[in-house]
């Protein structure tokens, strides 16, 4: 795929998820909730997760912020829903690697799907925190709920 087409696809995916976010809201029966802020640009993301039998049964986000932070949060929920906690952690690490310009395995790239397109923010270091905010919040939440997640 040519660079111009890839850039157009990136814009379409980001705008679609920012304007029509998936899994936006809060979970009444959440296993845990984590809110993080990006003071650089004012993004605020709250991630709530329901973990059942070591699997992410439900995942939502709420908050406000720039287009990239909102789209990335939406993409995260679509990628990590129904994943095992272990696989979710692996995909969070793969996403983190992508947005900092590192290579990831073809399997991880495939499973990240449209979220892998956000990896192009590596070219814009000031935007990396925006893209990573929701993913980092879920990672911290899974760390915090480790005992619950593995019961």
Q: Which DSSP letter does residue 110 get?
A: H
Instruction: Count CB-CB contacts under 10 A for residue 11.
Output: 12
Q: What is the pTM of this model?
A: 0.90
pLDDT of residue 2: 59
Token digits for 45?
Answer: 């993301």
Q: Among candidates 94, 98, 96, which has minimal Cα distance to 108? A: 94
Distance CA 88, CA 97 (A): 14
- Which domains are delineated in the chain? 3-149 (3.90.1010.10)
Q: Which residue has the tokens 């973990």?
A: 51
Token digits for 65?
Answer: 């912020």
pLDDT of residue 1: 57
pLDDT of residue 79: 98
Q: Which DSSP letter does residue 24 get?
A: B
Distance CA 50, CA 34 (A): 12
Burial (CB count <10 Å: 0-12, 13-18, 19+), residue 29: exposed
pLDDT of residue 3: 57
Q: Which residue has the tokens 């990006």?
A: 38
pLDDT tens-digit profile, the chain (151 residues): 555 665 776 788 889 999 999 999 999 999 999 999 998 889 999 999 999 999 999 999 999 999 999 999 999 999 999 999 999 999 999 999 999 999 999 999 999 999 998 988 888 899 999 999 999 999 999 998 763 433 3
pLDDT of residue 120: 87
Q: Which residue has the tokens 């789209």?
A: 71
Q: Which DSSP letter does residue 84 get?
A: B
Angle between helices 67-80 and 125-144 (to 10 degrees): 40
């Amino acid at each position: 795929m040519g660079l111009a087409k890839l850039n157009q696809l990136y814009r379409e995916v980001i705008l679609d998820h920012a304007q029509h976010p998936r899994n936006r809201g809060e979970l009444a029966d959440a296993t845990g909730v984590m809110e993080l802020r990006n003071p650089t640009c004012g993004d605020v993301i709250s991630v709530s997760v329901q973990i059942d039998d070591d699997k992410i049964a439900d995942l939502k986000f709420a908050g406000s912020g720039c287009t990239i932070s909102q789209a990335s949060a939406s993409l995260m929920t679509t990628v990590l829903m129904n994943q095992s906690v272990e696989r979710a952690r692996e995909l969070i690490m793969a996403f983190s690697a992508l947005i900092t310009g590192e290579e990831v395995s073809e399997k991880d790239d495939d499973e990240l799907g449209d979220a892998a397109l956000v990896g192009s923010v590596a070219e814009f270091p000031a935007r990396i925190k925006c893209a990573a905010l929701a993913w980092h919040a879920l990672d911290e939440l899974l760390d915090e709920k480790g005992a619950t997640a593995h019961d």
